[in-house]
Every structure is written in C-alpha cells, then in structure tokens.
C-alpha cells in the first residue's frame, strides 16, 4: 500500500500519449471536416444517421472514441501524478478516473453501436 | 512516497507558458470530451430527443462558445506536435526551441482568427 500505483514505469503511457495524439490530430480533423463542411447547416438526427448507418463509419468512430478517451484519461492521470501525492487521495482520484473513463467509453460505444436498433 | 518540493521557481519563459497552456487546454478538452459524449448519447434516445438537445447546443450562445473550443483544440494540437518534435525532432535545440514556441503561438492565433471570424459572423447572423 505504501507505493500504491507505482508498479509501472509509465513508459508506455508516455509513448502512447504521443501516438494517440497524432492519431487524434488526423481523426479530429476528419471529424471537424465532416461535421462542419461536409454537412450543410445545423446538424440533425437525419444527417448524422446517413453516415452512421454504415459499418465503416461506425468502426472509425469507435476507434476515434477509444483513442480520445484514452488520451484524455491518460492526460488526467499525468496531472494526478504531478499534483496528488497522498496515497489515499491518489487511490480515490485514480479510481474515480478509471470509473469515469470506462463509463463514458461505454456510453459512447453504446451510442454508436445501438443506432440502428433505436431508429 | 517521498515528494521533492521544488527549490526554485521557474521564470515564465515561453516554453513554460506553452506548458501551462497545454495543461489548461488539456483539462478543458478532457472535460469537453465527457460532456460531448453525454450530449451525443441522446442519438440513441431517438430523433426527437437528439434534435432537441442539438437545438440547444447549436444556439447562438453555444456557437460563440465553440470559438473557444476551436482555440483549445488548435493550440493543444499544434503544441502537442511541437512537444513530439522536442522529443524526437530537433526542437529541443537551444537556437530552435524558443522560435518553435513562438511559431506555435503565432500559428494557433492565426488559425483561431481565421476560423473564429466566420464562426462569430455565423453565430450573429441568426
């Protein structure tokens, strides 16, 4: 318990933050282009469903979502590592981060996958 | 865990400001991502629910706030690329480091202005 959470070196986290960052630059630019230039006018259910009914877009969106949530959670973890030193507070904040990350990842994937069923 | 308190305070040199901005925009983007996932989850609640919530987030107020989103994304992305080039490229070099930071600031500002003006014009044309 003394060295709670310090069993890993963090080298993978460091490296993959850069890899996911580059992936996000590409996917986010595509996301931006599709939502603001490929679509005319306000975004509506119908316009979103046109794309999201195709398995290719669904797969791409899920990959995008996973990379984005990973990058965000890893970033928050980095900040916790920098500022939160007490063992108890680290356990609470990192635990909360895991719960939030998994919860929002699940909500996001369910949103993308469930679309056809709901329409 | 032994915690080493800093013995010195850093001057606010450009690289330090870039780091602070990266951290602040990172936190904002992380919070935005969670909010965004929550808003878009209404897509699975059917057409009416989704169009209602999208009507709110595409109102003029949110279109103005979106300029802030553009700014945080653009800065975080460009500075992130600079950080990668500090790690793997030549941007850690003494003669280049500071220039690279200024280029990051200038490029971000240019993109924010170039994107922000039409966005604001669109928001106020409603």
DSSP assignment string, B3-64: -PPPSSPPP--HHHHHHHHHHHHHHHHHHHHHHHHHHHGGGGG-HHHHHHHHHHHTSHHHHH
Q: In 10 A of CB B10, how many CB atoms?
A: 9
Domains of chain A: 11-118 (1.20.1300.10)
pLDDT digits (tens, 9 = 90+) for A67-113: 999 999 999 999 999 999 899 999 999 999 999 999 999 999 999 99
Cα B73 to Cα B33: distance, rounded to the nearest angstrom: 11
Between A55-83 and A87-113, two packed helices, what is the crossing angle to 10 degrees? Answer: 170
Q: How many residues does chain A have?
A: 119
pLDDT, residue B1, reads 61
Give CA torsion, residues B98, B99, B104, B110, to 10 deg: 140
pLDDT digits (tens, 9 = 90+) for A16-47: 999 999 999 999 999 999 998 898 889 999 99
Find the closest chain A residue to B32 by CA distance. A72
- pLDDT tens, chain B, 126 aa long: 667 777 877 788 999 999 999 999 999 999 999 999 999 999 988 899 999 999 999 999 999 999 999 999 999 999 999 999 999 999 999 999 999 999 999 999 999 999 999 999 988 886
C-beta atoms of B41 and A118 within 8 A: no
pLDDT, residue A119, reads 44
Q: Does A53 touch chain B (CB under 8 A)?
A: no
ipTM for the whole complex: 0.90
**Facing B46 at nearest CB: one of A75, A85, A118:** A118
Pick from B22, B43, B75, B85 the residue to mutate for testing the A interface (most A CBs within 10 Å).
Answer: B43
Q: Interface of chain B against chain A, CB under 8 Å?
A: 1, 3, 23, 26-27, 29-30, 33-34, 37-38, 40-41, 43-47, 50-51, 54-55, 58, 73, 77, 80-81, 83-84, 87
Q: In 10 A of CB A38, how many CB atoms?
A: 10
CA atoms within 13 A of residue B39's CA, in its CB half-sphere: 16
Q: Does A50 touch chain B (CB under 8 A)?
A: no
pLDDT, residue B9, reads 79
A76 neighbourhood in chain B, CB within 8 Å: 27, 30
């Amino acid at each position: 318990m003394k060295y709670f959470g310090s069993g890993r070196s963090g080298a993978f986290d460091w490296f993959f933050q850069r890899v996911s960052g580059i992936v996000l630059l590409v996917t986010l630019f595509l996301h931006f282009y599709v939502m603001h230039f490929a679509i005319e006018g306000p975004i509506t259910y119908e316009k979103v469903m046109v794309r999201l009914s195709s398995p290719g877009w669904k797969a791409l969106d899920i990959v995008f979502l996973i990379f984005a949530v990973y990058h965000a959670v890893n970033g928050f973890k980095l900040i916790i590592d920098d500022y939160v030193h007490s063992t108890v507070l680290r356990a609470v904040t990192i635990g909360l981060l895991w719960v939030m990350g998994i919860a929002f990842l699940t909500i996001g994937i369910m949103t993308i996958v469930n679309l056809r069923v709901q329409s | 865990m032994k915690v080493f308190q800093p013995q010195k305070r850093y001057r606010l040199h450009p690289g330090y400001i870039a780091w602070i901005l990266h951290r602040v925009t990172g936190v904002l983007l992380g919070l935005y991502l969670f909010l965004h996932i929550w808003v878009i989850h209404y897509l699975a609640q059917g057409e009416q629910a989704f169009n209602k919530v999208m009507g709110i987030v595409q109102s003029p107020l949110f279109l103005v706030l979106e300029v802030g989103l553009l700014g945080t994304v653009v800065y975080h992305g460009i500075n992130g690329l600079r950080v990668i080039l500090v790690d793997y490229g030549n941007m850690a070099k003494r003669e280049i480091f500071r220039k690279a930071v200024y280029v990051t600031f200038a490029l971000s500002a240019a993109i924010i202005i170039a994107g922000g003006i039409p966005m604001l014009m669109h928001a106020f044309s409603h």
